[in-house]
């Protein structure tokens, strides 16, 4: 059962009762002093009400911890009536010290409701609250993260076809978001989970915490996302739907070769790479990767967002579409890392493990001046 905390605590048993002082009596006769009232107001917790149902604990039994973020934790839980297992994102109201934090939670719930029913988006069941927390109840995905699934492969039968299947599912999510005027704003492998451990398990988008709606012709002027996947126009503070497609281009590049297309030891260095340079298609294993795959990645990693493929257009590309031309030949070979320019599965795992490390913070502060780069 999830623990709930009261903002007021009872006095310990056996504590001596303090006799009222002259100041106490004076305060009772003339009311609280301005200083005392100010202190009391500062100490009192702000009551945030969302209007969600308040019977979470009666309906669900909370189990093991699945993960945690800046504002809360995600647990597995069981529906007491049906026995179904779900995931619960528990968000601490005490950390909602600014109105924007409250709006972020409301927006995330609104987005999950709007996207409800899509095969590649985690299913939203309901939102609850009590005095201490907000609870977002969602579908439980137990198949693990995308990159972990690849790293766990026991043989080298990982092909372009496999990568294309994954990318196609990500693009379906993106296209659905864009159809509804929604920008995901944080497309990265860590935000996708497999529904189950089955080989044919669908991939599910699970985190829409940075997502936001945008009107036609408008642009975002803030910087959000994750440094390795951020689009050039985000750094220039004029981003829209197109930034999600760039991020999928970065993910595809990583899935095909195990390296990041833009890399530096510092966040500022990564931003300069994104704004200045083009991805490298000369290193191994690109010589053994099909022309169609290269063309697909290049069309997504176009620095001019107006010249970039849209999510719907990308879904029609010959390499990624259903029954497309992606090669079924293994991308990797265990034996000879120089054979046909391929790299070994063990080397790919090492590269991919490095590529998936989140050791660079998300870009939230001011970026480098693009004109100065």
The residues carrying an active-site annotation are 186
The two tokens of residue 205 are: 């988008």
Q: How far out from the chain centre does Cα 336 lie?
A: 37
| Spacing of C-alpha 321 from chain mean position | 25
CA 288 to chain CA centroid, nearest Å: 32
Give the whole-angstrom CA distance, residue 252 versus residue 336.
24
> Which residues are paired to 212 by β-bridges?
183
Q: How far apart are CA 120 and CA 141, in angstroms?
A: 11
Cβ atoms of residues 355 and 261 within 8 Å: no
Residue 89 annotated in ligand binding: yes
Q: Would you tell me how many other CB atoms lie within 10 Å of the CB of residue 305?
A: 21
Q: Please report where in the chains the tokens 């095909």 appear, as a residue.
A: 256
Sequence ranges of the binding site for ATP: 89
Sequence ranges of the binding site: 89
């Amino acid at each position: 059962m999830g623990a709930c905390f009261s903002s007021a605590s009872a006095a310990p048993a056996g504590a001596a009762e303090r006799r009222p002082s002259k100041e106490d009596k004076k305060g009772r006769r003339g009311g609280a002093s301005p200083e005392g009232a100010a202190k009391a107001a500062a100490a009192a917790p702000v009551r945030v009400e969302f209007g969600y149902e308040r019977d979470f604990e009666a309906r669900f039994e909370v189990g093991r911890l699945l993960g945690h973020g800046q504002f809360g934790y995600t647990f597995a839980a069981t529906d007491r009536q049906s026995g179904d297992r779900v995931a619960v994102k528990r968000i601490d109201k005490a950390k909602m010290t600014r109105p924007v934090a409250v709006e972020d939670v409301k927006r995330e719930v609104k987005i999950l409701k709007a996207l409800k029913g899509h095969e590649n988006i985690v299913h939203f069941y309901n939102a609850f609250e009590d005095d201490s927390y907000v609870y977002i109840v969602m579908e439980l995905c137990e198949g693990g993260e995308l990159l972990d699934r690849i790293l766990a492969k026991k043989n080298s039968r990982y092909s372009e076809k496999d990568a294309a299947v994954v990318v196609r599912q990500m693009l379906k999510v993106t296209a659905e978001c864009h159809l509804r005027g929604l920008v995901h704003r944080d497309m990265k492998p860590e935000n996708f989970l497999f529904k189950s451990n089955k080989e044919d398990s669908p991939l599910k988008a699970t985190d829409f915490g940075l997502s936001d709606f945008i009107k036609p012709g408008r642009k975002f002027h803030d910087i959000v996302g994750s440094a390795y996947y951020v689009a050039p126009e985000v750094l220039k503070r004029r981003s829209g739907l197109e930034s999600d497609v760039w991020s999928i281009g970065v993910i595809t590049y990583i899935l095909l070769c195990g390296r990041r297309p833009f890399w530096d030891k510092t966040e500022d260095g990564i931003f300069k790479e994104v704004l200045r340079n083009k991805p490298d298609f000369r290193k191994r294993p690109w010589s053994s990767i099909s022309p169609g795959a290269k063309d697909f990645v290049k069309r997504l990693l176009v620095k001019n967002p107006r010249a970039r493929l849209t999510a719907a257009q990308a879904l029609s590309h010959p390499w990624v579409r259903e029954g497309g031309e992606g090669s079924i030949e293994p991308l990797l070979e265990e034996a000879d890392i120089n054979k046909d320019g391929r790299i070994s599965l063990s080397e790919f795992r090492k590269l991919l493990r490095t590529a998936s490390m989140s050791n660079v913070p998300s870009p939230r502060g001011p970026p480098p001046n693009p004109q100065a780069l």
